[in-house]
Amino acid sequence: MGSATFFGAAFGLACQFYSNGIRKQPLMRHPWEHVLLISIGIVAANALANWEEKLQADVEKLTKENAEINRSRFKGIPLVFLVPL
């Protein structure tokens, strides 16, 4: 989670530097814009990291449920009938 915070802050700062640089303005023109974009980057990166963890947990849960359903569905059927010809 700490690395997501760092990379989000770095990405927000880089976006502001790029925005000022492409317009040929001083890079530190409005410092409050840097703070704003760093904050937005931190929030976005942490939300993305949390969302990824939630999705991974959901996938593991669904995989376990489907494995259990398949085990109960095919219980007692010989493997010969499950192999495609």
Encode pLDDT of 18-67 as tens digits. Answer: 999 999 999 888 999 999 999 999 999 999 999 999 999 999 999 999 98
Query: What does the alpha-carbon distance between residue 10 and residue 34 come to, in Å, rounded to a whole number?
Result: 10
pTM of structure: 0.70
Domain positions in the chain? 2-74
Q: Does residue 77 register a pLDDT over 60? A: yes
Quote the pLDDT of residue 27.
Answer: 86
Length of the chain equals 85
Quote the pLDDT of residue 47.
Answer: 95
Confidence of residue 81 (pLDDT cuts 50, 70, 90): low
Report helix, strand or coil for 78: coil
Contact predicate 16/64, CB 8 Å: no
Average pLDDT over residues 10-20: 92
Query: What does the alpha-carbon distance between residue 56 and residue 71 come to, in Å, rounded to a whole number?
Result: 22
